Structure 1
Amino acid sequence: METEQTRRGRGKFKPAPNLSDKEVKEILLSKIAEENSLLIESENDEELLKQIDYRNDKFNLVGLFSGCGGLDLGFELAGLSAAIGEEDALKAFKDKELYNKIRHKSIFHTIYTNDLFKEANETYKKNFPDHVIQHKKDIRKVAQFPLCDIMLGGFPCPGFSEAGPRLVDDERNFLYIHFIRALLQTKPKFFIAENVKGMMTLGKGEVIKQIVEDFQSAGYKVTPYLVNSRDYGVPQLRERVFLIGVREDISKEFVYPKPVPSHGIEEGQKPFVTLKDAIGDLENNPGPYYTGSYSTIYLSRNRKKKWDEQSFTIQASGRQAPLHPSGPPMEKEHANKWNLIGGEEQNRRLSVSEIKRIQTFPDWFEFSDGGNLSASVNSRLDKMYKQIGNAVPVTLAKAIAQPIANYVYNSMKSGQEVKDKYIQTSLI
C-alpha cells in the first residue's frame, strides 16, 4: 500500500544509503563522466582561457554562479584586510576612488566568473577590475575551467527538495554536479559554496549529508556552517549555509575555525547593526523603490521591522521587498492576515539604495537595470532587487573569508609553500 513516505515526490523522507567513500566517488565520477561526454570543447573557450590574468604572487580566485559579485567582493576585501590591516581596508572600502587605488593589494585576485544573468554580469563589469574574464555561458556547456587557488559559488538547488538514493543521480542537480566537476578538474586549495538554510533540514538531514559526502569525494575536507548574517555586522536576519572545503593536503596544516559571531549581546561583541544605523540617513532621500499594491500573500505576515531592529531577509524581488520602518507597525488581525496602518507614504517598500546598504554593498557599487527604456520602471527596478537579493552580503562574505585570508597571508609572509605554482595559457 502506498504511503506518504513511499509516494513519488516524497523522496525527501528516504534515508541515503550508507555507501563507502569509494562507492560515493565511483557514482560521482560516473555521473560527471556522463556529463563530460555531452560537452563539445569550444575554440572560443580556449581563446578565453588564454586571456586569464594569472598572478603567481596572489591567490587566484574563480567565481561560479557569481551574480553581481557579493561573495567575490567580500573575499577581495578580506584579502585586502589581511594585507594592509582591517581598519585601513574598511576605511578605503567606503570611497570608490580610494578603494580602486589599493584593491590590487588584496592577496585574492579574481580571474574568472561564470553566470548567465545578463544584468548581474553588467553590474559585475561596472564594479570589478577589467582583467576579470566573464564567461557568460551555461556552466553545463563549459568544457574547461581555469586553474585557480580558490573557487567560490552559490549553486542553485532545485532538486535538493527530494533526497533520492544519491543527489548526483537526480537530473535536476546538473548545476551542483558541474560545481564538483570544476573542482575535480582544477583542484583549488579551497572552495566555498553558499546556499539556503533549508539545505540543512531537507530530507531530515539526508540532503546535507549527501552534499558533504559528494564534495569530500572530490578530495576535500568539507564542513558546513549555518550562520546568521546579523551576527557578523549585517543589519539583516538572513540565515545561510556555507560549505567550507579545504583540499586534503592543506587540511593537515589548516583547519577552518568554527565561525564566531562578532556582533551580539555577549561580552566582547559589538552591538548588532540596526536599520537606523544602516539606512537612517536615507529616510528623506531613499531613491527609487518598487511601487504597487500588496498581495494577500504579502500581507499574510509582518513585513515591517522597527528602526532599532534588523531587516527581514532581503528577497530577490522588488514586489517582496520588506517595508520601510517608518510609520506605525503593522497590526495582526489573525494568523494569516496583517493590516497596514496609515497611508502609502507610511508603508512603502525599501528602496534599491536601502536594500543595497542592508546587503552591505558600498554606496559606490552600481547596479545595472538592463537599460531597457521601454520596460516599466518597476520592471527595471526589479532587475536590481533580484541581483541584490540573490547576493551574499559583502560583510558576511568577508567574515567567512577572513580566516583563509589570514592563513594565506601569514603563510606567504613566513615563506611557507601554500600556493601551487602554475601558468596556464591554454586548455588543460
Structure 2
Amino acid sequence: MRQVRTISLFSGCGGSDLALKRLGYNIVWANDISQVACDTYSDNIGPVIECGDIADFESFPGAEFLVGCYPCQGFTQGGRRSWGDSINYLYQQFDRILRTLSPKAFVVENVNGMAFGVNRRLLNNQICRYRLAGYRVKWQVINAQDHGVAQSRRRVFIVGVRSDLDFIYTFPTPQFGVNIGRRLVTQRDMLAGMPEWPVGDFNEEPFHWYYLSRRRRHDWDEPSPCIVGHWRHVPLHPMSPPLKRIHTDKWVFSDKGPARRLAYRECAALQGFPRNFIWKRGTVRERFQMIGNAVPPPLFQAVVKNLEKLW
C-alpha cells in the first residue's frame, strides 16, 4: 500500500498513530492539547505534532485520511457523565476540519457509553453531521480483547468513506475468542517478566470503598479489566488476592496477601503498547492518564486495516 497522507486529531500520546505507522500511513500533522502527551508522541511517533487547542488552528496540510479520538469524559463510566459537558462537543471541531479537508475517509474512536442512554443523541448528531458532509458512515462497538489486546475494553468506532468513492467499508470480525478457536491474549502473556513490585510506578493509596465497589481484579489467565486514565482506579495486579463479592456494590479480598494496583508500564503493556515505547515525560500520574486515555494500537490497527483497498 502506498503511503497515505494522514492527519490525526486529539492524538494523545500516539496509540492510534503507532497503529497507523505500522500500517505504512504517512502522518503529516497531528494535534493534542496536552503538552506531556505531545512530548511523549514526539519521542515515539515523530515531530509532526503541534500542541494547542484545536479550535485555534485554521489551516492544515492536505490529507486523504483523517483520524480522531476526541475526549470522552462526558460519556465514560469513569468520568463525569454529564450530557451537557462542553467537552462532549469537540466532535464539532472534527467536523469542521473534515469539511475543510474533504479526505477520502475518516475514523473516529470513543467510549461505548456514547452509544447508550441520553448520550445516544450525541452519537446520532455526529453521524448526521458526517453524512451531511458527504460521507457514507458506519459505526460499531468493538471489544479490544477480540483483536489481540489483553483487556476487556469496548469502544465505539465511526468510519466514514466519501460518498463519491466506490468503496464499502466493513468492520473487522473478531480474531480471538472461544468462537474463533483462538484463545484471548491474557495478562500472563503481557506481564510475564515484569517486576513484581515496581516501587514508585503505581498508586499506593489505600483501596477506598468506591474502588472496591466493583470487580477490579481479573485472574492471570484472563484479559485485564478496562484500563482507565485515573491512577486511583486502574485495575488490581493479578498477583493480588482474589476478590469476593459480599454485597451488590461491595467486594473484599479473599485473604490478606499483598495487593496492589497495576503499574503504568503494565497498563501500557495491557493496552498493547510495545515495551520499548518511551514513557519519560510528566509525572507518574500523568503517565497513567496518557495510557488510560490512549487507543490500544492493535485495536486501531484492526479497524484501519480494512480500509487498505480504498487507497
Aligned residue number for residue 209 of structure 1: 124
Aligned residue number for residue 266 of structure 1: 179
Aligned residue number for residue 321 of structure 1: 234
Aligned residue number for residue 27 of structure 1: none
- Partner Cα distance (2:197, 2:87) in 1: 44
Q: Which has the higher helix share?
A: 1
Alignment of 1:121-270 (within 5 A): 121-130=38-47, 132=48, 134-157=49-72, 173-203=88-118, 205-250=120-165, 253-267=166-180, 269-270=181-182
Contact kept, 8 Å, 1:162 with 1:203, in 2: the verdict is: no
Instruction: Specify the SS of the correspondent of 2:164.
Output: helix
Residue 340 of structure 1 and its aligned partner are, at CA, apart by 2.5
Q: Which has the higher strand share?
A: 2
Contact kept, 8 Å, 2:91 with 2:126, in 1: the verdict is: no
Contact kept, 8 Å, 2:224 with 2:270, in 1: the verdict is: yes
Alignment of 1:273-292 (within 5 A): 273-282=185-194, 284=196, 286=198, 288-292=201-205
**1:398 equivalenced with 2:301 (yes/no):** yes
Change (3 A) 1:327 1:137: closer
Aligned residue number for residue 355 of structure 1: 267
Aligned residue number for residue 34 of structure 2: 117
Residue 312 of structure 1 and its aligned partner are, at CA, apart by 0.5
Q: Give the fraction of aligned pairs with identical amino acids, expressed as a percent.
A: 34
Aligned residue number for residue 78 of structure 2: none
Change (3 A) 1:173 1:285: closer
Residue 341 of structure 1 and its aligned partner are, at CA, apart by 4.1
- Could you list the per-position Cα deviations for residues 345-381 of structure 1 after superposition, in whole angstroms to 9, with x for gaps in the alignment? 62111111211110000011012332xxxxxxxxx21
Change (3 A) 1:293 1:204: closer
**1:309 equivalenced with 2:309 (yes/no):** no
- Partner Cα distance (1:194, 1:294) in 2: 31
Rg bigger for which structure?
1
Alignment of 1:380-395 (within 5 A): 380-395=283-298
**1:294 equivalenced with 2:239 (yes/no):** no
- Partner Cα distance (1:247, 1:286) in 2: 48
- Partner Cα distance (1:341, 1:163) in 2: 38
Q: Structure 2, unaligned stretches of length 5 or more?
A: 76-80
Aligned residue number for residue 94 of structure 1: none
- Partner Cα distance (1:187, 1:307) in 2: 46
Instruction: Specify the SS of the correspondent of 2:227.
Output: coil
- Could you list the per-position Cα deviations for residues 181-207 of structure 1 after superposition, in whole angstroms to 9, with x for gaps in the alignment? 000001111110101101111328433
Contact kept, 8 Å, 2:38 with 2:50, in 1: the verdict is: no
- Could you list the per-position Cα deviations for residues 132-157 of structure 1 after superposition, in whole angstroms to 9, with x for gaps in the alignment? 2x221211111122221111111135
- Partner Cα distance (1:179, 1:337) in 2: 40
Contact kept, 8 Å, 1:201 with 1:207, in 2: the verdict is: no
Amino acid in structure 2 at the alignment position of 1:125: S
- Partner Cα distance (1:322, 1:237) in 2: 11
Bigger RCO (CA 8 Å, 6+ sep): 1
Instruction: Specify the SS of the correspondent of 1:151.
Output: strand
Q: Structure 1, unaligned stretches of length 5 or more?
A: 1-56, 80-105, 165-169, 371-379, 409-417, 419-428
Change (3 A) 1:202 1:349: same
**1:73 equivalenced with 2:24 (yes/no):** no
Q: 1:340 aligns with which of 253, 269, 288?
A: 253
Instruction: Specify the SS of the correspondent of 1:282.
Output: coil
- Could you list the per-position Cα deviations for residues 41-83 of structure 1 after superposition, in whole angstroms to 9, with x for gaps in the alignment? xxxxxxxxxxxxxxxx621111100000101111221x2xxxx
- Partner Cα distance (1:297, 1:155) in 2: 27
Change (3 A) 1:298 1:327: closer
- Partner Cα distance (2:206, 2:129) in 1: 45
Aligned residue number for residue 35 of structure 1: none
Alignment of 1:76-91 (within 5 A): 76-77=21-22, 79=23
Instruction: Specify the SS of the correspondent of 2:103.
Output: coil
Change (3 A) 1:173 1:237: closer
- Partner Cα distance (1:365, 1:73) in 2: 10
Contact kept, 8 Å, 2:148 with 2:298, in 1: the verdict is: yes
Residue 118 of structure 1 and its aligned partner are, at CA, apart by 1.4
- Partner Cα distance (1:318, 1:364) in 2: 21
Residue 271 of structure 1 and its aligned partner are, at CA, apart by 1.3
- Could you list the per-position Cα deviations for residues 103-153 of structure 1 after superposition, in whole angstroms to 9, with x for gaps in the alignment? xxx2x10111111111111100110134x2x22121111112222111111
Instruction: Specify the SS of the correspondent of 2:171.
Output: coil
- Could you list the per-position Cα deviations for residues 156-186 of structure 1 after superposition, in whole angstroms to 9, with x for gaps in the alignment? 356777879xxxxx96655211100000001
